[in-house]
Structure formats: structure tokens, C-alpha cells
Amino acid sequence: MSVLTKGYLRELRFERERVESFAEYPFSIPVVKNLDRLEFHPNVTFLVGENGTGKSTILEAIAYALRLNPEGGTRNSTFSTSETHSELFDYIHLIKNLLTPKDLYFLRAESFYNLASYMERDGRTEYLRGYGGKSLHAQSHGESFLSVLNHKLTGNGLYLFDEPEAALSPTRQLSALSLIHRLVNKNSQFIIATHSPIILAYPNCALYMLSANGIEKTNYQDTEHYTVTKEFLNRPEKMLSILFDEEE
């Protein structure tokens, strides 16, 4: 399958001409203010940046535009614990490829507990068959995340991940990388917001840095996530000395 025919989403276009005021949230976020279009890689697209730059806001808007629950799960996950999603979804236009995904899923670390509770509410144990048949609350946070990758996601899918590393140890992040690659080889496409330098190492991807200046395509080695982590691991004593001296 050629790159031209791979992937399910090709591009996001922001209909900025419809926005009445960029002084109000979410349009006041610098990334959204400067947003025009965002091209997706047919395999994996990463959104990286400091806390508060708008990664989750954009990912949530994509999920809602795809009719996925903004708190996570599939289109069949109809629960809602809080209506906190922004109206950005109504101002974006998703350009789709000729292919249609057979599987759609939004893995959101922030609200995954709520999703797990919803699936077991009122004896809805049939939902658990798609997660290996074991209660997600009976597993650790990290184990339940890997249950999604191992059992729930079957391939030929479009998958949105918001900070999947939140519950994963470094070793489990490596396991997640392997499982993501397996799903990519099963004609799947990922859009991932992450801070993890391990997960960001996935090759053959598109990596976008979000900042106060907008969205810029970048390389793995040029991300702050890579450079800061590398510098710290190479010289932990020196870095700690600098940090602690700054506090005195």
C-alpha cells in the first residue's frame, strides 16, 4: 500500500474566518490563534509541547469531530462526567482519505478511570471482553492501558492517544511502542499527544511542536523532551547542582 493511500485522516483545517473573537477560550490559546492547517502522517503524528500549549485541546476537538466521546473510549462510550470539552471541534474540518477505519478509539489518560467505571456500571461486564475479560479496576493503571493496546485495538483503526505514558513505566513505554508499531503494520493510524521521549522516538512519523509561536514541524532530536532528558541522564549531578543552586 503506498503512502498516498495509507491513513484515514489527511489534514485538519481550521475555519478561522468563522471565529468571532480570538480573545476567548479556546481561540485565545496561542496555538489555536496561529492554527491554519495540520497535515497528518499516515502512520503516527505526534503533538508535543509544554503543559498548557493546547495539545489536549486540539486532540479533544479531533475526537469530538469524529463523534468519539471526548472523555475517551469508542463511539459507543456514551457516558459523561463533566461537559468540559471546548467548542473548537465545531471550527475544524477534517480532510479524510479514501479509506474508512474499521476501528476508532480515544485513549485519554486524564479520564480513563471514568471510562473503566462506566464499562462496569450496572453490570455491563460484556464490555470487558474487549479488554481481555478482566476488570480494568482490578489491574494497575499501567496494566489497564496496555490492555487497551493488547486487546481492544484490533487494527485497521484510527487511534487518538492523550498522554499514554502517564501510567507507564519506562519499560512499559517500550512495550507500548512495540504494540503501536504492530498496529501500524495492521493499517492503523495514530495521533498522539505526549511528553515521553521514549514514545516520541517512534520512527517514520510527523512531529509537531506546539508553543506560544504556534505549531511547527520538527525533528525528534530537536525537541526539548529529547535534549533535556539526554542532558540530565548524561550529567545528573551537574544538572541537580544547577537546579539546587538556583533555589538558594
Q: What is the pTM of this model?
A: 0.85
pLDDT in tens, 91-133: 999 999 988 999 998 987 654 545 555 556 655 565 555 555 5
Q: What's the N-to-C CA distance of the chain in angstroms?
A: 59
Angle, in degrees to the nearest 10, between helices 224-234 and 236-247: 100
Percent helix / strand / coil, the chain, rounded to 5: 45, 20, 35
132-148 confidence digits (pLDDT tens): 555 555 555 567 778 78
Instruction: Decide: helix, strand or coil at residue 152.
Output: helix
